[in-house]
């Protein structure tokens, strides 16, 4: 009786397990001699199988729409197992409607990368060889609307909607004051295209929370953010970020570090220059 029960359970579970193992993971492109399709058909389109700028977890803002022109220019260096990436990150916020709405544009104009043979094949690059090169990133554009601001016990909350161009390259290489404490949160929806014929789109819940400490010219930011897709094929990235800033008027020097906790196999050092308005006067 026990053997028969186990047989029934196995009969029903085996197709489910088989489906879970292969449903969202196409076969390996290497060693296939007949009926070979375009290399994109074999890609696993998730943050766990691409470079750090291909499907990034959006940065967690402080919940406040920028009321002044905001320009952020940073050098970034990502290090992961068998990979090194460095780039320049640009972020611009343009306020409109008396600071209640802002337009945002951010972009990685160029990234330079080095990936060894094993990781190149794990990510299913077109060549399957060690990679050294450069790529251009996508342009992200969005709108932020202030919904809640300035409440003592309720976090600042802004609604944002962001899209991106398909301008990224090298798909074949799988790239592409007073002491004051504030806390803030992010909830949203993240969608991207896959190359699977039966499941052409992955949908994810986006989330994050952080706390910021300001004292005089010094600021300290700590946050955690991520998103959860439904395919469970490396699509659950979770990132911790810490940043310290030193301001002088409307300008700031910043130094930061990021660590990928899950499905984001990179740590990132960044240093940059930020402008928050053209003057520190209201």
Structure confidence by residue, pLDDT tens digits, 178-204: 456 677 778 888 888 888 888 889 999
Which carries the bigger pLDDT value, residue 75 or residue 27? 75
**Which residues lie closer than 8 Å to 7 by C-beta, 6 or more apart?**
none
- Residue 93: which pLDDT band, with cuts at 50, 70 and 90? very high
**Model pLDDT, residue 231:** 92
Whether residue 137 is contained in a domain is answered as yes
Q: Kindly state whether residue 282 falls inside one of the protein's structural domains.
A: no
Which of 225, 217, 223 has the alpha carbon at shortest distance from 180? 217
Q: What is the CA radius of gyration of the chain?
A: 22
pLDDT > 60? residue 20:
no
**Which H or E run includes 118?**
helix 117-122
pLDDT bracket for residue 154 (50, 70, 90)? confident
Residue 78: Cβ-neighbour burial (10 angstroms; 0-12, 13-18, 19+): buried
Instruction: Tell me the mean pLDDT in the region 64-90.
Output: 92
Q: Judge whether 6 lies within some domain.
A: yes
pLDDT band at 216 (very low <50, low <70, confident <90, very high): confident
The pLDDT of residue 29: 83
- Report if residue 281 sits inside a domain: no
User: Tell me, what's the pLDDT at 139?
Assistant: 87
Assigned domain for 264 exists: yes
Q: Which residues contact 281 (CB under 8 A, 6 or more apart)?
A: none
Give the pLDDT confidence score for residue 88 in this predicted structure. 93
Q: Where are the alpha helices (DSSP H) in the chain?
A: 2-22, 117-122
| Residue 125 lies inside a defined structural domain of this protein | yes
Residue 18 has a pLDDT of 39
DSSP, collapsed to helix, strand or coil, labels residue 231 as coil
* Torsions phi, psi for 7 (to 5 deg): -65, -45
User: Containing domain of residue 186, as a range?
Assistant: 2-276
Establish if 173 belongs to a structural domain: yes
* Contact between residue 92 and residue 73 where contact means Cβ atoms under 8 Å apart: no
What's residue 230's pLDDT? 93
Residue 20: inside a domain: yes
Give dist(CA 81, CA 140) in Å, integer.
27
Q: Taking residues 220-244, what's their average pLDDT?
A: 93
With b meaning 16 or more CB within 10 Å and e meaning fewer, what string describes 212-234? bebeeeebebebebbbbbebebb
User: According to the model, what pLDDT value does residue 32 have?
Assistant: 61
Give the CATH number, domain containing residue 153.
2.40.160.40
On the question of pLDDT at 243 being above 90, the answer is yes
pLDDT recorded at residue 204: 93
Q: What are the phi and psi torsion angles at 28 (to 5°)?
A: -65, 140
Are the C-beta atoms of 131 and 112 separated by less than 8 Å?
no
pLDDT of residue 181: 67
Structural tokens at position 77: 């260096």
User: What average pLDDT is seen over the chain?
Assistant: 82
> What's the number of domains the chain is made of?
1
If pLDDT is split at 50, 70 and 90, which confidence band does 152 have? Answer: confident
Closest alpha carbon to 157 in 191, 190, 188: 188
In which region does residue 152 sit, left (phi positive, over 0), alpha (psi from -120 to 50) or beta (all else)?
alpha
DSSP 8-class letter at 279: -
102-136 confidence digits (pLDDT tens): 999 999 999 999 999 999 999 888 888 999 999 98
Read off the pLDDT band of 280 (50, 70, 90). very low
Task: Please give the torsion angle defined by the CA atoms of residues 99, 244, 77 and 166, in that order, rounded to the nearest 10 degrees.
Answer: -10
Q: How far apart are CA 256 and CA 89, in angstroms?
A: 13
């Amino acid at each position: 009786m026990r053997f028969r029960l186990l047989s029934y359970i196995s009969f029903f579970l085996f197709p489910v397990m088989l489906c879970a193992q292969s449903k969202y993971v196409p076969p390996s492109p290497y060693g296939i001699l007949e009926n070979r399709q375009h290399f994109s058909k074999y890609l696993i389109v998730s943050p766990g199988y691409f470079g750090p700028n291909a499907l990034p977890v959006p940065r967690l803002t402080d919940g406040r729409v920028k009321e002044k022109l905001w320009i952020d220019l940073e050098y970034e260096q990502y290090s992961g197992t068998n990979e090194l990436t460095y780039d320049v990150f640009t972020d611009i916020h343009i306020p409109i409607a008396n600071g209640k709405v802002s337009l945002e544009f951010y972009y990685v104009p160029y990234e330079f990368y080095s990936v060894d043979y094993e990781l190149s094949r794990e990510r299913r690059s077109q060549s399957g060889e060690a990679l050294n090169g450069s790529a251009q990133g996508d342009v992200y554009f969005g709108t932020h609307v202030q919904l809640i601001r300035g409440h003592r016990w309720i976090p600042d909350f802004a609604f944002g909607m962001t899209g991106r161009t398909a301008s990224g390259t090298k798909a074949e290489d799988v790239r592409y004051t007073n002491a004051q404490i504030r806390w803030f949160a992010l909830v949203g929806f993240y969608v991207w295209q896959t190359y699977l014929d039966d499941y052409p789109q992955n949908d994810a819940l986006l989330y994050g929370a952080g706390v910021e400490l300001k004292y005089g010219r010094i600021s300290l930011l700590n946050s955690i953010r991520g998103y959860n897709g439904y395919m469970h094929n490396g699509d659950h990235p979770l990132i911790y970020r810490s940043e310290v800033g030193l301001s002088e008027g409307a300008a700031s020097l910043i130094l930061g570090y990021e660590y990928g906790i899950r499905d984001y196999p990179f740590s990132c050092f960044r240093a940059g220059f930020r402008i928050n308005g053209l003057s520190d006067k209201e």
